[in-house]
Amino acid sequence: MKNVPALRKLAIKIAKVMYFSDFISEISSKLGFQGKIVESHITVDFGLSKRGIKPLKALFLSDLHFGKLISKKVIQELVGTLKGKRYDILLLGGDFLFLDDCGADQFNWFLQEISPPIQSYAVFGNHDTEDIRGKITSILNNNNVKVLINEEVVLKEPYDFIRVYGIDDMKYGNPKFNSLKTKKTIFLCHSPEGLSFTNKDDVHFAIFGHTHGGQIVFNKKKPFLPFKDKYSKEFPSGYFEKNRFLFPFYVSRGVGFVWLPIRFLSPSEVVFIDFV
């Protein structure tokens, strides 16, 4: 694996030995340690009502981490939560598989079950390493999802004054951001660290994953997040409508699990956004 530190390679090898089957995740789920999936709903003012345009409905999913740590129960609950829901665009925030491509079939099945709309876009996360990016890209493309790597797409009419800009992973990618003041911009990035690329004139709404909200939390007011970047620590999860960046953004707890198949006081989350 290129661009992956030696320590992480070692951790992956150890984890692969520990999680040789899905036995641990299934036991964790039966004991209640994988929790319930929570729906979060937010509304963002994009001036659509002033233009006489109906709200644009978006679904954001991040940190799915398909593989040995996520139980079948969680996956089924996720599909059950999303089936029947209407949304115009799907935004995927990266970290699709965990450790390797062992969860690729799960991921492909999941996308087929939810049938992404025509306007579906994704960015890579720090766990979408170079050795599995090709596999992930193939699955996404085959299910009508376009990967954005430092590029933009303009939405279809009547929302063609809005663009989605997807930036590459902050840790293992080569992130770049192209300012464009003539369009309303939805900034899509795996990690809150992407805030370092933004300002109030270039971005009108941003959405991130990566943090898991701490995943295992003992103090809700100050969850421990073992990240080096200051933005993930400062903005662990939730809607930051008023902040020093002067544009609203959301940090999702994501769906899956990393390193341990447990969530505590930081439940899995899917995010529905109404742009009005």
The more confidently predicted of residues 143 and 102 is 143
Locate all alpha helices (DSSP H) within 183-255, ordered by sequence: 230-234
Predicted pLDDT at 28: 80
Query: What average pLDDT does this structure show over 182-207?
Result: 93
Whether the CA torsion 206, 207, 208, 214 is positive or negative: it is: positive
First to last CA, the chain: 43
Residue 169 has pLDDT above 90, yes or no: yes
Residue 199 has pLDDT above 70, yes or no: yes
Residue 218 has pLDDT above 70, yes or no: yes
Residue 224 has pLDDT above 90, yes or no: no
Predicted pLDDT at 16: 57
Query: What average pLDDT does this structure show over 221-238?
Result: 83
CATH 3.60.21 fits 6-275, yes or no: yes
Q: Considering the entire predicted model, what is its pTM?
A: 0.90
Per-residue pLDDT tens digits for 114-153? 999 999 999 999 999 888 999 999 999 999 999 999 999 9
Predicted pLDDT at 99: 78
Predicted pLDDT at 1: 47
Per-residue pLDDT tens digits for 28-60? 877 777 788 999 999 999 999 999 999 999 999
Q: Are strands 205-208 and 249-251 parallel, antiparallel or unpaired?
A: parallel
Predicted pLDDT at 117: 94
Q: Which two tokens stand for residue 182?
A: 């003539």
Q: Which two tokens stand for residue 179?
A: 């300012």
Residue 3 has pLDDT above 90, yes or no: no
Question: For residue 260, what pLDDT band results from cuts at 50, 70 and 90?
Answer: confident
* Residues 4, 246: Cα–Cα separation, whole Å: 34
List 188's β-bridge partners, or say none: 166, 207
Predicted pLDDT at 235: 94
Residue 17 has pLDDT above 70, yes or no: no
Phi-psi category of 246—alpha, beta or left, where left has phi over 0 and alpha has psi -120 to 50?
Answer: left
Question: Residue 158, preceding bond cis, omega within 30 degrees?
Answer: yes
* Residues 2, 13: Cα–Cα separation, whole Å: 15
Residue 228 has pLDDT above 80, yes or no: no
User: Residue 225 carries which side chain, given as an amino acid letter?
Assistant: L
Predicted pLDDT at 154: 97
Predicted pLDDT at 182: 82
